[in-house]
Amino acid sequence: MLDKLAYATAAARAARFILTHLRDAEGRLQARYQEGQAAYPAYLDDYAFLTWGLIELYQATFELGYLREALALTRQMQELFRDEDTWRVPADG
């Protein structure tokens, strides 16, 4: 958890940059940003670590927007990376 306001502010600025500049036209997360251009679709671990960071940022600031973004990224991550052949919802759950 972030204890210092300066760290929370820096993390919020970084999250805002990523969420604003590292997405393609359809909203998919991109892996790199160079010379004003985002490119290359992000990998599963990119989604997972950004989601984790957004949850940590929510815990530090209690701003619901970070939690909403984390949830949206989780849904997108499931759509993009779930293995339909092995992923099953239990019949009783």
27-70 per-position pLDDT tens digit: 999 999 999 999 999 999 999 999 999 999 999 999 999 999 99
pLDDT number for residue 77: 95
- Residues of the chain with pLDDT > 70, as a percent, come to 89
Q: CA-to-CA distance for 92 and 32, rounded, in angstroms?
A: 42
Q: CA-to-CA distance for 14 and 52, rounded, in angstroms?
A: 14
Q: CA-to-CA distance for 11 and 18, rounded, in angstroms?
A: 11
pTM: 0.83
Question: Does residue 83 carry a pLDDT above 90?
Answer: no
Contacts of 70 (CB under 8 A, 6+ apart): 51, 54, 55, 58
Six token digits for residue 52 = 């984790």
CB 73 within 8 A of CB 54: yes
